[in-house]
A and B are shown apart, each in its own frame.
Chain A
Amino acid sequence: MLPKYYEFLNSVKIMSGENALENLPHELKMMGAKKPIVLTDAILAKCGTLDKVQKAFKGFDIDVTETYTEIPPDSSIKVINEIAGIFKAKGCDSIIALGGGSVIDTAKGLRIVIEQGGNDIMDYMGLDSLPRKDRIAFAVIPTTSGTGSECTNVAVIANPDKNVKMEFISYDLLPDFAVLDPRMTETMPPKITANTGVDALVHAIEGYTCLQKNPLSQSYAFAAIRLITTFLPKAVLEGGNHEYRLAMSNAATMAGIAFSNSMVGLVHAIGHAIGGVAHVPHGIAMAILLPHVMKFNLETLKPAYAELLLPLAGAEIYATTPKEERAQKAIEFVTAFIKQFESVGLPTKLSDAKVTEDQFDAIAQTAINDGAIVVNPIMATKEQVIEILKEAF
């Protein structure tokens, strides 16, 4: 059934496949870019991934020597404001983000500050409230397959003073290009492959079920789930396989497009809070919380979860499961699917992720103030969030 009203936008040019990186300089050249700032983290700078990107620009009249390689695991307002100063001082004119969610979100924040002509990202907080300004070229090269941030209108940026992760939502956050090149993800360790892949699964499931869902976003979510359940276990076991890596990159991007247009719900609201209060990596928080939040939402989302059994478990299981049992079966499948990654070190309980019970109150208080909670089909109270945390402990 169609929603009464919906909006959908994905303006990102997706460049997917072998040697996708080599097509990026041409695209940036066509947008008039001469001196991008390349944002990445210290590990990618050290392990040679940054070199691969810089080599791809050889022979082009584009200077990619201006780099910022100290982006922390959680992008923060301080880092963004610092890079904005460097961007202006060095005369940069475009942005290349090479990395996972924190690098990409930092780049999104930087783009806002530069395009809006200010100095402080905090001046631009809000939802869909930024005036359109002259755009600077912005390319993203994801090195994980999870956040989908290369195709989303959301940035999550930490405010270390308040111990919270802040959400910025605007179509201006969408990059111009997303480069899905399997060489960029092939060295990802199994544990990170698993937790980022589960993050993509959460994006797809919440994108399929949250209040802002629409037929287009659901199509992307449905297809992403099928890819993830088929290829994530294979990518974890055989990381060097380009087919598996590319499938997971596409899945994460599709899940990103889905949730960018339908938003994420309670798993993310609590997950952001756990990240802010207990500093648990995002993908790990997602993996721990997903089954418990699905149980919480079950009564309201029974028909939707029942539909999801098809991409989750495949046609045979879907067809042989009685209609009224499909939703419950979907939750059981998700629980078992995540549990298989315990073998590569993925925690499935909050206690294993070093969250303590005395942090529950702060986590719950932060979660109920997270933007994601609004589009969850049930607006959870603080007490209900604490109950979910207890179950996940």
Chain B
Amino acid sequence: MTEVSENPTQIKQEAKAPKTIVPGGFKRSVCKLVMKLLGKGICYGYKVDSRIKQDVDAIGDDFSVKLTISPIGPTMIFGKKDQKPFSRIGSYDEEATMTISFKGLNSAFKMFTGGMGLAAGYAQHRFTVKGDLYKILAIVRIINIVEGYLFPKAMAKKLMNPIPPKQVNSVRFLCGTLF
């Protein structure tokens, strides 16, 4: 239950200039798709993986995490708010308590398609973080766990050291995420 969207205000501005083309159409679409899958995976993981549940619950009962790609998205937001379960919350233009913002589409594409792990992305200054770094680390760990389920082993091995052990079968995880 995540929301992935492009920022319509900026898209609208792009639309006003008739000859402007939104750059990186293919890569942007892939990122949007993977972000949606990742977001759904995180929310499903909360239900079936005790480590994800523990980390999410430790962050608190009122928080939101925004994942976005500069300058025009796509954007995904998830979190807990107003006593509602951990899921998609708010809208893309809402201020989140934590924001991970990828500096550019190409590096985000690499990170969302298994070309670069979160640790390497951090080391290469590929994203900025706004908010409590202490809590963001829990999110990084959660994303690693979910990628461990969703990505093929060979790909996951390239992305993280070590691959987090699985608590449920990957096929079951993927099915639960998709359906």
Q: Is the interface of A mostly helix, strand, loop or mixed?
A: loop
Q: A126-B131, A129-B130 are in contact. Are A371 and B124 (CB under 8 A)?
A: no
Q: Are B119 and A5 in contact, with the CB atoms below 8 A?
A: no
In the complex formed, the residue of B with least CB distance to A300 is B161
Q: Are B123 and A126 in contact, with the CB atoms below 8 A?
A: no
Q: A127-B128, A378-B161 are in contact. Are A373 and B120 (CB under 8 A)?
A: no
- Tell me which residues across on chain A come within 8 A of B119, comparing CB atoms: 211, 374-375, 379
Interface contacts beyond A129-B99, A368-B141: sample of 10 additional A-B pairs, CB < 8 Å, sorted by A:
A3-B123, A5-B124, A125-B130, A126-B131, A129-B130, A162-B134, A373-B137, A374-B119, A375-B119, A378-B161
Map CB proximity to A onto B121-147 as digits: 1 under 8 Å, 0 otherwise.
011110011111111111011001000
- 30 example contacts (A-B, Cβ-Cβ < 8 A) are as follows A4-B124, A6-B124, A125-B130, A125-B131, A125-B132, A125-B133, A126-B131, A126-B133, A127-B129, A127-B133, A129-B128, A166-B132, A167-B133, A167-B134, A168-B133, A169-B133, A210-B123, A212-B122, A212-B124, A368-B141, A369-B135, A369-B137, A371-B134, A371-B136, A374-B118, A374-B119, A375-B122, A377-B161, A379-B160, A379-B162
Map CB proximity to B onto A137-174 as digits: 1 under 8 Å, 0 otherwise.
00000000000000000000000001010111100000
Cβ-based interface call for A7 (8 A): yes
Most B CB within 10 A of own CB, among A128, A166, A210: A128
Q: Are A374 and B137 in contact, with the CB atoms below 8 A?
A: yes
- Tell me which residues across on chain B come within 8 A of A162, comparing CB atoms: 134
Cβ distance B7 to chain A, nearest Cβ, rounded Å: 18
Q: A211-B119, A370-B137, A374-B137 are in contact. Are A129 and B129 (CB under 8 A)?
A: yes
Q: In the bound complex, what is the Cα–Cα distance between A47 and B123 (angstroms)? A: 42
Map CB proximity to A onto B111-122 as digits: 1 under 8 Å, 0 otherwise.
000000011101
Q: Are B128 and A211 in contact, with the CB atoms below 8 A?
A: no
Question: Contact residue range for chain A?
Answer: 20 to 34
- Tell me which residues across on chain B come within 8 A of A7, comparing CB atoms: 125
Q: In the bound complex, what is the Cα–Cα distance between A361 and B16 (angstroms)? A: 56
Tell me the count of chain B residues lying within 8 A, CB to CB, of chain A: 26
Cβ distance B161 to chain A, nearest Cβ, rounded Å: 6
In the complex formed, the residue of B with least CB distance to A377 is B161
Most B CB within 10 A of own CB, among A127, A169, A211: A127
- Tell me which residues across on chain B come within 8 A of A126, comparing CB atoms: 128-131, 133
Cβ distance B179 to chain A, nearest Cβ, rounded Å: 31
- Tell me which residues across on chain A come within 8 A of B134, comparing CB atoms: 162, 164, 166-167, 369-371
Map CB proximity to B onto A350-393 as digits: 1 under 8 Å, 0 otherwise.
00000000000000000011110111011100000000000000
In the complex formed, the residue of A with least CB distance to B101 is A129
Q: Are B129 and A368 in contact, with the CB atoms below 8 A?
A: no
- Tell me which residues across on chain A come within 8 A of B101, comparing CB atoms: 129
Q: In the bound complex, what is the Cα–Cα distance between A5 and B106 (angstroms)? A: 13
Cβ distance B107 to chain A, nearest Cβ, rounded Å: 9
* Beta-carbon contacts under 8 Å, A95-142 to B: 125-129
- Tell me which residues across on chain A come within 8 A of B141, comparing CB atoms: 368
- Tell me which residues across on chain A come within 8 A of B132, comparing CB atoms: 125, 166
Q: Are A374 and B125 in contact, with the CB atoms below 8 A?
A: no
- Tell me which residues across on chain A come within 8 A of B131, comparing CB atoms: 125-126
- Tell me which residues across on chain A come within 8 A of B135, comparing CB atoms: 369
Residue of A368, A371, A375 touching B133 (CB-CB under 8 A): A371
Cβ distance A265 to chain B, nearest Cβ, rounded Å: 11
Q: In the bound complex, what is the Cα–Cα distance between A6 and B118 (angstroms)? A: 15
In the complex formed, the residue of A with least CB distance to B129 is A127
* Beta-carbon contacts under 8 Å, B130-175 to A: 130-138, 140-141, 144, 160-162
Cβ distance B33 to chain A, nearest Cβ, rounded Å: 25
- Tell me which residues across on chain B come within 8 A of A3, comparing CB atoms: 123-124
* Beta-carbon contacts under 8 Å, A1-57 to B: 3-7
Most A CB within 10 A of own CB, among B99, B123, B124: B123
In the complex formed, the residue of B with least CB distance to A214 is B123
Cβ distance A55 to chain B, nearest Cβ, rounded Å: 40
In the complex formed, the residue of B with least CB distance to A168 is B133
Q: In the bound complex, what is the Cα–Cα distance between A159 and B141 (angstroms)? A: 22
Q: In the bound complex, what is the Cα–Cα distance between A148 and B77 (angstroms)? A: 38
